[in-house]
């Protein structure tokens, strides 16, 4: 019960959470009900409102998403009345995992004869593949007994999915087909059909030829091809022709693949491409990385299997494809590690959609509070190296050691992602 300090004759009171007018008692007090864990709101105004037709919560969301912000007090009260019509006590307060669906991009592609790969493709035979991976999200705690870093591949395939320890009930990461709910750790046997895959990531030259032939342009061009093309977005910058295309969105990537009668790989197809049939390799070339003993960033060496990640405060962009043939996977595919993030499967639930990225990039700036590489603490861009630059250049870059079978969960929107569409032909 509320008792206003004064009650001017022309003052009107409104329960602005339940969207209705309140009548003051003779002593000027106001009475309203508030549920446990609920909200209360009272508005006093000299303006009377006109009545509006009652709306249902379903009608308010008819356009998809959240209701529009009301422009007037009557509209606001009508909206709140509809949204609060069902009391909080009527809702289920228990935690529930949201069912998640794996969406395959351009699932219907042209069937090709066996062993008919072009010079820039590799052929992958069909197999029963033991897929083991663990997400790298920091949210949601961790599985009981799980290391902070990885869930390592097991020595031999299994006949059925392995029930791993349940993650804290937050539903982070993804839910694969056949899994009860989303979680970070995944261990399952999947049947993979034969397919052809591009030997290298799609280059800027490839993408320029595509947009000139197809006439494609996204509806939002704000950051499209931002780093690697000219300002007109018509041609690669000089010297960038053989580098992987970046600053393309998921829709850009799927459009490119569909134009060439290809598609993005499923996440386990990408891992099969990188690890080989046995699925035991930590890296495409073997079990050990040479990131800390190899050459300097941007300088290829016969001893290097992949680009060296940089933690400089300026993004150098990716290196040209094909510079590290000794880092090729058993399949013959190259530039799978520390080149550019590569898109695979998309996942959707009732509220979000996301795409799994694989491989990592050669740019991993250190963003710790002790040494911020991208911007100053006031949010302005850095134009000179921070004082800690020299010290941290000798520290292993976070992400420079690839997570075995790992990757990243990229939520979107936003509409642009710095990743290259590596397409596959299906058999």
> What local confidence, expressed as pLDDT, does residue 45 receive?
86
Query: Residue 352 and residue 371: Cα distance in Å, rounded?
Result: 33
Using DSSP bridges, classify how beta strands 42-45 and 12-15 pair: parallel, antiparallel or unpaired.
antiparallel
Average pLDDT of 236-249?
96
Q: Averaged over 244-260, what is the pLDDT?
A: 94
Assigned token pair, 390: 């020299």
Give the mean model confidence (pLDDT) for residues 39-52. 81
Q: Is the pTM for the entire model greater than 0.85?
A: no
- The residue that leads in pLDDT, 278 or 40, is 40
Q: Is 373 left (phi over 0), alpha (psi -120 to 50) or beta?
A: alpha
Mean of pLDDT over the chain: 76
The string of pLDDT tens digits covering residues 192-221 is: 999 999 999 999 999 999 999 999 999 989
Q: pLDDT tens digits, residue range 367-384?
A: 554 555 455 556 565 556
**Cα→Cα distances 416→55, 102, 379, Å:** 37, 21, 22
> What band does 104 get if pLDDT is binned at 50, 70 and 90?
confident
> What average pLDDT score do residues 59-63 get?
68
Quick one: pLDDT band at residue 385, thresholds 50, 70, 90? low
Average the pLDDT over each of 16-20, 127-131, 309-313 and give the range with the smallest value: 309-313
Confidence tier at 126 by pLDDT (50, 70, 90)? very high
Residue-wise pLDDT for 282-333, tens only, equals: 889 988 887 767 766 666 677 789 988 876 666 788 999 999 999 999 999 9
**pLDDT score for 264:** 93
Please give the Cα distance from 228 to 238 (Å, whole number). 9
Amino acid 121: pLDDT: 92
**Whole-number pLDDT of residue 141:** 54
Neighbour-count burial of 302, counting CB atoms closer than 10 A to its CB (0-12 exposed, 13-18 middle, 19+ buried): exposed
pLDDT-derived band at 190, boundaries 50, 70, 90: very high
pLDDT band, residue 420 (cuts 50/70/90):
very low
DSSP characters over 187-241: EEEEEE--EEEESSPPBHHHHHHHHHHH----S--SSTTTTTB-TTSSSBPTT-T
The answer on pLDDT for 417 being more than 90 is: no
What's the pLDDT at 351?
A: 85
Q: Give the pLDDT score at 294.
A: 76
pLDDT of residue 163: 38
Question: How does strand 20-22 pair with strand 424-426?
Answer: unpaired
SS (H, E, C) 267-309: HHHHHHHHHCCCCCCCECCECCCCCCCCCCCCCCCCCCCCCCC
Give the range among 351-355, 369-373, 389-393, 405-409 with minimum mean pLDDT. 405-409
Between residues 168 and 405, which one has the greater pLDDT?
168
Please report the sign of the dihedral spanned by the C-alpha atoms of residue 166, residue 172, residue 177, residue 180: positive
Percentage, residues of the chain above pLDDT 70: 68
pLDDT at 130: 92
State yes or no: pLDDT of 109 exceeds 50: yes
User: Measured between alpha carbons, how far is 219 from 287 in angstroms, rounded to an integer?
Assistant: 43
* pLDDT score for 101: 93
Q: Compute the distance between CA of residue 349 and CA of residue 89 in angstroms, rounded to an integer.
A: 25
Q: What is the mean pLDDT of residues 15-22?
A: 90
Highest mean pLDDT out of 80-84, 157-161, 248-252, 299-303: 248-252
Beta bridge partners of 327: none
Residue among 230, 224, 264, 228 nearest 244 (CA) = 228
Between 258 and 312, where is the model more confident?
Answer: 258
- Residue 29 pLDDT exceeds 80: yes
pLDDT: which is higher, 163 or 121: 121
CB 387 within 8 A of CB 376: no
Mean of pLDDT values over 29-55: 81
Binning pLDDT at 50, 70 and 90, where does residue 145 land?
Answer: very low
């Amino acid at each position: 019960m509320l008792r206003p300090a004064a009650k001017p004759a022309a003052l009107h009171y409104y329960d602005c959470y339940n969207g209705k007018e309140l009548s003051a008692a003779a002593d000027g007090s106001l009475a309203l009900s508030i549920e446990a864990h609920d909200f209360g709101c009272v508005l006093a105004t000299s303006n009377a409102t006109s009545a509006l037709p009652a709306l249902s919560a379903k009608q308010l969301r008819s356009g998809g998403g959240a209701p529009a912000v009301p422009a007037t007090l009557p509209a606001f009260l009508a909206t709140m009345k509809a949204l609060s019509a069902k009391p909080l006590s009527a809702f289920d307060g228990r935690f529930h995992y949201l069912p998640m669906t794996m969406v395959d991009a351009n699932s219907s592609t042209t069937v090709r004869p066996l062993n008919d790969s072009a010079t820039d493709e590799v052929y992958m035979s069909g197999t029963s593949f033991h897929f083991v991976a663990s997400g790298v999200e920091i949210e949601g705690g961790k599985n009981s007994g799980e290391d902070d870093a990885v869930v390592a591949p097991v020595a031999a395939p299994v006949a059925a999915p392995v029930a791993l320890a349940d993650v804290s009930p937050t539903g982070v990461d993804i839910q694969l087909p056949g899994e009860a709910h989303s979680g970070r750790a995944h261990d399952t046997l999947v049947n993979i059909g034969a397919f052809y895959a591009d030997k290298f990531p799609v280059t800027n030259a490839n993408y320029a030829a595509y947009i000139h032939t197809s006439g494609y342009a996204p509806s939002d061009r704000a950051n499209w091809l931002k780093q690697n093309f000219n300002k007109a977005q018509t041609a690669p910058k000089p010297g960038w022709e053989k580098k992987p295309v970046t600053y393309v969105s998921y829709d850009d990537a799927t459009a490119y693949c569909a134009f060439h009668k290809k598609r993005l790989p499923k996440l386990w197809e990408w891992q099969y491409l990188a690890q080989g049939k046995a699925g035991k390799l930590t890296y495409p070339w073997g079990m050990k990385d040479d990131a800390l003993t190899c050459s300097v960033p941007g300088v290829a060496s016969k001893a290097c299997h992949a680009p060296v990640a940089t933690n400089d405060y300026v993004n150098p962009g990716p290196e040209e494809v094909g510079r590290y043939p000794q880092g090729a996977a058993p399949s013959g595919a190259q530039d799978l590690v520390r080149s550019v993030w590569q898109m695979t499967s998309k996942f959707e639930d009732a509220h979000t959609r996301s795409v799994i990225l694989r491989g990592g990039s050669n740019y991993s700036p250190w963003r710790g509070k002790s040494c911020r590489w991208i911007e100053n603490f006031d949010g302005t861009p850095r134009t000179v190296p921070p004082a800690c630059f020299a010290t941290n250049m000798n520290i292993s870059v976070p992400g420079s050691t690839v997570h075995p079978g790992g990757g990243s969960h990229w939520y979107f929107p936003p509409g642009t992602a710095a990743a290259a569409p590596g397409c596959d032909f299906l058999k």
